[in-house]
Amino acid sequence: MTVVNPKSISGITSITTASGSDNLLTIHTSDANNTERFRIDSTGTTKIVTGIVTTLTATTGIVTTLTTNTTKVGSGITLSSDGDVFFTGISTGNGSGLTGINTPSFSAYLTGTSPSISGNTNTTVVFNTEDHDTDGAYDTSTGVFTVPAGKAGKYHISAYGGIDDIDDGTYVRVTVLKNDTLIPGFRAQGHCSTNQRIETTGLSGTVTLAVGDEIKVQLFTNDGVSTGMVIENETCRFSMFRLAI
């Protein structure tokens, strides 16, 4: 064992680093028995003698007070007491338990009969089928995502769409609205070069949202002549997730 400068720390008689057959890092205090108070063994297990630590304080959001014999700290991290010692352990995994990261999150698209659309009219796209929706914040009957309580923050938004059977020289425009007002920068459009073909466009970006903000996607074409124009299902998707920052 190697003693590491214990005299510079009040109340500590020795700090030993891992060496030899014991392979331990230990800390001893200056009581009558030179009691060992803390150790980490070669497996990474940390032990703190019961009675010395009554409150465990760590990084904000991990744990502030130990009140039970076993406390889980996030996915795969466990704090527990066993007899005269206190243990911490971290297990590996595939991350499936980290459900709080980047939520709310949803993705929706169009299925069924392609909806008709009129020229020179902003039309809200109702993406009627969800791939997933962690918080139930997207409404497949209205096409509106509403920021849930406690979930304000920065969100990434992606929106894509297309219209079939528009005329040469006209365009398709997609916009994303917050509370019925265009979000700055969330507008994109594509111009059709051949009559009666599908024209698509899309965009993505990040925006700060408050609780209760409503987000929706609209499509527009300046083609006021063509008949039979429809929103092309296979080109349409709307997704959002809150950034973990």
Mean pLDDT of 148-171: 93
Mean pLDDT of 82-89: 46
Nearest CA to 135 out of 177, 114, 95, 106 is that of 106
Paired with 241 in beta bridges are 105, 156
Q: Is the pLDDT of residue 231 over 90?
A: yes
Report the distance separating Cα 242 and Cα 108, nearest Å.
16
CB atoms within 10 A of CB 6: 16
The structural domains of the chain, with segments of one domain joined by +, span 2-90, 105-242
Burial of residue 229 (number of CB atoms within 10 Å: 0-12, 13-18, 19+):
buried
- Length of the chain, in residues: 245
Residue-wise pLDDT tens digits, 108-159: 999 999 999 999 999 999 999 999 999 999 999 999 999 999 999 999 999 9
108 or 5, higher pLDDT: 108
* CATH class of segment(s) 105-242: mainly beta
Task: Provide the whole-model pTM.
Answer: 0.61
Report the distance separating Cα 51 and Cα 239, nearest Å.
51
Please spell the DSSP secondary structure of 115-166, one letter per residue: PB--TT--EE----EEEEETTS-EETTTTEEEPPTT--EEEEEEEEEEEEEE
**Residue found under tokens 């020179």:** 120
Is 91:43 a contact under the CB 8 Å cutoff? no
Give the per-residue pLDDT at 124. Answer: 98
Distances from the Cα of 122 to the Cα of 2, 5, 118, 135, 232, angstroms = 75, 74, 8, 28, 16
